Structure 1
Amino acid sequence: MTTGAVIVTFNPQNPLDDLLGQLLEQCDRVLVVDNASQKDLNLQRFENHPGLTLIRLSDNFGIAHALNVGFAELQKTGTDFVFTFDQDSKIEAGFVQSALEVFGQNTPDTALVAPNFFDVNSRTYARFTLFENGSMESFQVSESDIGREIRTSFAITSGACIRMTAHQKAGPLRDDYFIDHVDSEYCLRLQKAGFKLLVNPAVCFKHAIGNRTVHRFLGLTFKPNNHSYLRRYYISRNGFHMAKLYREDFPQMQKLNLLRMIHEVGCVVLYETGKLKKLSYIVRGYQDARNNKLGKLT
């Protein structure tokens, strides 16, 4: 059983040393796929390590394209399990082995194992969502769930482990989504292909989602991510497109996306700067989704 990891980079603000050091100890092969960064990645400490490969792309083609490049490269070497990370990820010793143990304890139709995660900005734990029998359940996991099969319908890219045979069956990630909801669409496609996705409650992964803060208004909780207007566009466009794409297989997606977009708009109106521009790009995203106009916004 061989393992590989793909780290996607684009002008990283912090060194990759900690993440690379851990992955090179825990994985058979590590790929850094760089989306044409304008700054030095500072990989000199690892430049002669036989397990590390740096792939520099000629332009920023988005996270999905970079991940697909990594998967294709690892597939050539017969890698069985692939871990995916963004450039701000941090892991501890035993991270890889813990995910593999979950795969080993479950049936071969398990395609993906994701860690629990803690958002360092809002200081809140993840809420997972499960679509099942026409219903939608939202829940959190904790160490008390260790040993149980915790299914989820969605997992973020960073920290996830994917079985290569499942990836080959489901197909590559959608590079026409460019960035947001790339992971969400991929998760739904895996499930449509007959696979299940699990949460590993034995590992809690520290992660930063945008510049998220937490606010209370009229008894409701808002967590603005303070994304740019471009990210607001992709979130809107890809969310509405995904809801339309899977309306027959996962009708709950339309409700979930609508609730998410109401939350997004509320966050922009109540707490974020650049309100008018962000709202206009949310509307533009919706219009482009209706017209199936995808790809990188130019």
Structure 2
Amino acid sequence: MRLICAIIISFNPDLNRLREVLSAVSPQVDRVQIVDNGSSEVEGLVALVGLFQSCSLMTLSGNLGVGAALNLGIYTALSAGYDTALLMDQDSIPSPTMVGDLQHGLRWIISQGEHVAAIGPRFFDRHSGKLSRHVVFASWHIRRIDCRSDNQPLPVDFLITSGSLVPLDAFAVIGGFNEELFIDHVDTEWVLRARSKGYRVFGDCTAVMEHDLGEYRRRIWLGRWREVPIHKPFRYYYTFRNSIWLRRRAYAPEDWRRADAVRMVQLFVFMTIFHPHRLLVIKMMWRGLQDGLRGRMGPSADIRARGLTHEKTNS
């Protein structure tokens, strides 16, 4: 039996939503470790954590970014003797059987002799109610693949951080999450680095959770109706900067580079047309491109000084 520590990264969380997360996660794991990334008010968070016997809280002095918070949580779990981590956002709610389903899938994959970096669930979008599909890189786009009962779990090319079950012995080979990325592409970079070291990620077809993509959605017509997630403008700085930086890494495969180039063009077009603060978004994208080329990483001091980083920083 694996000892599982759930690691939840929080930043100014909705306490009611986080209570739902803890109520759903706690019965499925051996321990819950919350790493709070410098929330402005922690009294309510401390009180909430006190309601759950198997939950502990680590408070950071400031927002160190998602990669740093994940690494601290993982090192804490390793030092306490846990061999598996469940990585979670502060507002992703697993189904009652999600962790057990992921464990079953993980055991099966390992029995086949695979080097596993992570296995993750599908998720219901809390806005649209749609169930996601797992993805692979295909030429110039990301292709969504269907689950089949005779082909489960599926090898995939990408997993979001939230909901991922990670055997911690993989970190000795792959290394921790890149803290310089701060927010966006933290999960992408780690998965691509894992692939370059002979590890694979898998999507489970049974495990599901409820997840939130973007601050809100905008429904648009482009050949068909699409729901486009909208973030605050500063997020597009990190998206573009980190894409440019990651494209220049030797371990970034060509199939990802092509698919990401298309995604960046789509983001630019969609956001400059549909984002309510399109001029600021364009400025953030442009600055991100410049800093990515210059190799200026870490949190942007200018963006933080202007108070633009008050959105949650989960991947």
What is the TM-score with the length of structure 1 in the denominator? 0.91
Q: How does 1:60-71 map to 2 (within 5 A)?
A: 60-71=63-74
Q: How does 1:149-228 map to 2 (within 5 A)?
A: 149-210=153-214, 211-217=216-222, 219=223, 222-228=226-232
2:35 to 33, 40, 47: 33
Residue 288 of structure 1: CA displacement? Answer: 0.9
Q: How does 1:66-215 map to 2 (within 5 A)?
A: 66-107=69-110, 108-131=114-137, 138-142=143-147, 144-145=148-149, 147-210=151-214, 211-215=216-220
Please name the residue that 1:252 is paired with.
255
Asked if the contact 2:7/2:34 (under 8 Å) is kept, the reply is yes
Q: Work out the CA distance in 2 between the residues paired with 1:263 and 1:117.
A: 23
Asked if the contact 2:95/2:207 (under 8 Å) is kept, the reply is no
Residue 221 of structure 1: CA displacement? Answer: 5.9
Please name the residue that 1:281 is paired with.
284
Which amino acid in 1 is paired with 2:267? E
Residue 286 of structure 1: CA displacement? Answer: 0.9
1:295 to 294, 298, 310: 298
Task: Say which SS state the counterpart of residue 213 (structure 1) adopts.
Answer: strand
Aligned residues: percent identity?
Answer: 25
Q: Work out the CA distance in 2 between the residues paired with 1:137 and 1:280.
A: 27
Asked if the contact 2:153/2:205 (under 8 Å) is kept, the reply is no
Asked if the contact 1:68/1:173 (under 8 Å) is kept, the reply is yes
Deviations 1:29-48 (A, max 9, x none): 11000011112444535416
Asked if the contact 2:99/2:207 (under 8 Å) is kept, the reply is no
Residue 204 of structure 1: CA displacement? Answer: 2.2
Asked if the contact 1:64/1:173 (under 8 Å) is kept, the reply is yes
Q: Work out the CA distance in 2 between the residues paired with 1:266 and 1:170.
A: 35
Further displaced range: 285-294 or 101-110: 101-110
Q: Work out the CA distance in 2 between the residues paired with 1:46 and 1:285.
A: 37
Deviations 1:260-296 (A, max 9, x none): 1111112112211111110111011111111111100
Asked if the contact 2:46/2:57 (under 8 Å) is kept, the reply is no
| Unpaired stretches in structure 2, ≥5 consecutive residues | 302-315
Change (3 A) 1:291 1:42: closer
Asked if the contact 2:15/2:44 (under 8 Å) is kept, the reply is no
Q: Work out the CA distance in 2 between the residues paired with 1:48 and 1:90.
A: 18
Residue 121 of structure 1: CA displacement? Answer: 2.4
Change (3 A) 1:274 1:73: same
- The runs of 4+ residues in structure 1 deviating greater than 6 Å are none
Please name the residue that 1:236 is paired with.
240
Please name the residue that 2:60 is paired with.
57
Deviations 1:85-118 (A, max 9, x none): 1111111222211111001111341221100122
Change (3 A) 1:260 1:112: same
What is the TM-score with the length of structure 2 in the denominator? 0.86
For these two proteins, the number of residue pairs brought into alignment is 294
Asked if the contact 2:122/2:204 (under 8 Å) is kept, the reply is yes
Deviations 1:36-94 (A, max 9, x none): 11124445354165422100000011111111110000010221110011111111222
Change (3 A) 1:201 1:127: closer
Residue 212 of structure 1: CA displacement? Answer: 2.5
Residue 244 of structure 1: CA displacement? Answer: 1.8
| Unpaired stretches in structure 1, ≥5 consecutive residues | none
Q: Work out the CA distance in 2 between the residues paired with 1:64 and 1:41.
A: 24
Residue 257 of structure 1: CA displacement? Answer: 1.3
Residue 193 of structure 1: CA displacement? Answer: 1.2
Which amino acid in 2 is paired with 1:158? S
Q: Work out the CA distance in 1 between the residues paired with 2:206 and 2:150.
A: 6
Residue 17 of structure 1: CA displacement? Answer: 1.7
Q: Work out the CA distance in 2 between the residues paired with 1:203 and 1:82.
A: 16
Further displaced range: 280-289 or 220-229: 220-229
